[in-house]
Amino acid sequence: MRILVVEDEPDLRRQLKAALTDIGYVVDEAANGEEGHYLGENEAYDAIVLDIGLPVMDGISVLERWRKADLKTPVLILTARDRWSDKVSGLDAGADDYLVKPFRMEELLARVRALIRRAAGLPSAELACGPVVLNTRSGKVTVDGAPIRLTAQEYRLLAYLMHHPDKVISRSELTEHIYDQDFDRDSNTIEVFVNRIRKKLPVDIIKTVRGLGYRVEAPAGPDAA
């Protein structure tokens, strides 16, 4: 998953990036509203953390512009404690959640995770596909309860696919979401990681759709329901 952090204060920005990176996300950062707005509109993020009190272009305006341009990425806004009304206008402008500064990093991580999960329309923090279970909270994958050791990239790839069950994900969409801005397009790393994951999982939940990309099937066949 790829996250955008828009925060002017260098120290907090660094902390946010570090914490989000630690739990396995790919993070881009913007130091002001203008840059943030541009990135949000042009890159593919799974969630955005947006400080409301920004120089150059304030957070509310950025958010409003995004929503006007029909950007659906979930946004978590950060507000100062003494600017209580910002929270309301932020939610009005289309924020999906808010957090009052100062906050505990743990809290933020939990909320970002929840945003990504809800945006994918998933009911639980545990994504299951047959015997394979991916826990977004612990960042662990198990098969029939037995833990599987995945590297960072392997996990990101699998997590992204499992967040979009039954949907064909193209190679380019995958690279957009598990790498940051600059990455060589014509490379077969995606295939290599798919291969590795397949070798580590006893069941092959990743189907390749020739010419289009990959797809993991939803757990339970929705059969004659």
Partner DNA sequence: CGTTAACCTGAACTTGGTCTGAGAGCGGCG
Partner DNA sequence: CGCCGCTCTCAGACCAAGTTCAGGTTAACG
Show contacts with a copy of itself in window 130-149 (CB under 8 A): 138-139
Q: Rule CB under 7 A: is residue 181 a binding residue for DNA?
A: no
Q: Rule CB under 8 A: is residue 74 a binding residue for a copy of itself?
A: no
Question: SS3 breakdown of the chain: % helix, strand, coil, rounded to 5?
Answer: 40, 20, 40
Rounded to whole angstroms, the Cα distance separating 121 from 200 reads: 27
Q: 215 by DSSP, 3-state: which?
A: strand
Q: In the bound complex, what is the minimum distance in angstroms from residue 112's beta carbon to a copy of itself?
A: 15
Q: How many residues bind a copy of itself (CB under 8 A)?
A: 26
Tokens representing 106 are: 């743990």
Among 103, 192, 202, 203, binds a copy of itself (CB under 8 A): 103
Q: In the bound complex, what is the minimum distance in angstroms from residue 66's beta carbon to a copy of itself?
A: 10
Show contacts with DNA in window 195-214 (CB under 7 A): 195, 198-199, 208, 210-213
Cβ neighbours of residue 22 under 8 Å, at least 6 residues apart? none
Q: Rule CB under 8 A: is residue 180 a binding residue for a copy of itself?
A: no
Cβ neighbours of residue 68 under 8 Å, at least 6 residues apart? none
Q: 158 by DSSP, 3-state: which?
A: helix
Q: For residues 9 and 43, which CB has a smaller minimum distance to DNA in the complex?
A: 43
Q: Rule CB under 8 A: is residue 69 a binding residue for a copy of itself?
A: yes
* Side-chain half-sphere CA neighbours of 16 within 13 A: 29
Binding mask 22-61 for a copy of itself (x = CB under 8 A): x-x-------------x--xx-------------------
Q: Rule CB under 8 A: is residue 165 a binding residue for a copy of itself?
A: no
126 in Cβ contact with 138 (< 8 Å): no
